Amino acid sequence: MFEKAVILGLYSVTPVHAGSGAELSVIDLPIQRERHTGYPIIWGQSLKGVLRRAYEKLNDSQNKRNTEIIFGPPTDRAHEHSGAISVGDAKVLLFPVRSLKGVFAYVTCPLVLERFKRDLELAGFSPSINVPTVSEDEAIVAKNSSLLVEDKVILEDVVLKGNQQEDILKVIGAISNVSPIQIDEGRVAIVHDDIFRNLVTMTTEVVARVKIDAKTGTVQEGALWYEEYLPSDTLLYSVIAIGKPKKEINGLSTAEDIVEALNIFHGRFLQVGGNETVGKGFVKLKVIRDEKS
């Protein structure tokens, strides 16, 4: 039984490849996506593994059993007891898209915001978010938006009518509360659900990779593949549900103790996904445990 929850905000500082494995498609190594929406995610099991490894490194001077109390024992001893936390999938909240004006936009949509509102409620928050209705040919932006070209917002090759609304500032405020990086309200645009789906499907980064033959110094035959990345400046969030530990170790006896232990991640940088040795996967974290965080 889970007693508490925290929100974990993740802001991509570099492109992130949380891979789903090889597929028979143009992209050999695609990123993880929801099956029914196509939205990018980072699976909870992937995120939990990264957090576990990072916690072990940050607490190398403490009893290693703290890690087992929070995250559960290693696989070979998983039958002994469960961990005290349940790590949810990291869902996309803001997706960066090229803009004719203002360089790039943070794009979101009503469906993403509705989910965000529900997840905040699940975590015990009382969000005051009024999710707007958006037509297919418009983008809701702030009064001081840096994206406007006269009265238009041009994202990639999509031209939308700029609808300036004051209420968007409340939405941006709720988003900023979970973001480890200050969000420029002038860059935020709320678009129609279908437009958002197309953008997160068609405008991720796709990179060609090759393997060099050490003997010849040229590309090894057959060693060309394509990888997909979540772009830098993507904002995601995850709900981490917390229960009472199954065992009491080093003062970790209540759900509140686990919340305090997880706060070690606040403001930290982690590497998520593959290609760590080529500088990919850096994200900054923020832990939000109550409305005043």
Q: How far apart are CA 207 and CA 29, in angstroms?
A: 10
The burial of 98, by beta-carbon neighbours within 10 Å (0-12 exposed, 13-18 middle, 19 or more buried), is given as middle
Is a pLDDT exceeding 80 seen at residue 219? no
Q: How far apart are CA 164 and CA 150, in angstroms?
A: 12
Domain boundaries defined on the chain: 2-18+32-203+230-288
Please report the pLDDT score of residue 293 as a whole number.
Answer: 43
2 — pLDDT class (breaks 50, 70, 90): confident
Cβ atoms 101, 149 nearer than 8 A: yes
Model-level pTM? Answer: 0.92
Please report the pLDDT score of residue 87 as a whole number.
Answer: 97
165 — pLDDT class (breaks 50, 70, 90): very high
Residue 52's CB is within 10 A of a number of other CB atoms, namely 18
Report the pLDDT averaged over residues 51-72: 82
Is a pLDDT exceeding 70 seen at residue 178? yes
Please report the pLDDT score of residue 259 as a whole number.
Answer: 95
The burial of 131, by beta-carbon neighbours within 10 Å (0-12 exposed, 13-18 middle, 19 or more buried), is given as middle
Query: Helix axis angle, 110-122 relative to 168-178, nearest 10°?
Result: 50
222 — pLDDT class (breaks 50, 70, 90): low
Is a pLDDT exceeding 60 seen at residue 61? no
Report the pLDDT averaged over residues 51-64: 79
Residue 118's CB is within 10 A of a number of other CB atoms, namely 12
Is a pLDDT exceeding 70 seen at residue 242? yes
